Amino acid sequence: MPDTPADRVVFDELHVTLLVHRALSDTAVERAHRVIGGRRFVAQVRRAVAAVLSQHLPRGRVTVVVTR
């Protein structure tokens, strides 16, 4: 029987805080903000977390969702 969303439960959530140095230029801060606000960054974070988990758990047993 195929897995459905009802078969999954939230077991943990992570919160990431990004800090920039106080002396960083406004231009650099804006550039960083554009990077982290992009879909590509979010997808890369999701893939990175999934890659680490796949080293310890059977594939397909954990779904990683990254939101902004």
Could you tell me the two tokens for 45? Answer: 């974070």
40: in domain: yes
Ordered per-residue pLDDT tens for the chain, 68 residues: 677 778 888 989 999 999 999 999 999 999 999 999 999 999 999 999 999 999 998 877 888 999 88
Q: Which among 19, 43, 16 has a CA at the least distance from the CA of 32?
A: 19
Does residue 9 belong to any structural domain of this protein?
A: no
Please answer whether residues 61 and 37 qualify as being in contact, where contact means their C-beta atoms are separated by less than 8 angstroms.
no
Residue 61 lies in a domain: yes
Helix H, strand E, coil C: the string for 7-46 is HCCCCCCCCCCCCCCCCCCHHHHHHHHHHHHCHHHHHHHH
* pTM strictly above 0.85: no
Q: Tell me how many domains the chain contains.
A: 1
Residue 11 lies in a domain: no
> Which domain covers residue 65, as residue numbers?
16-68
Q: Residue type at 10? A: V
Q: Is residue 57 part of a domain?
A: yes
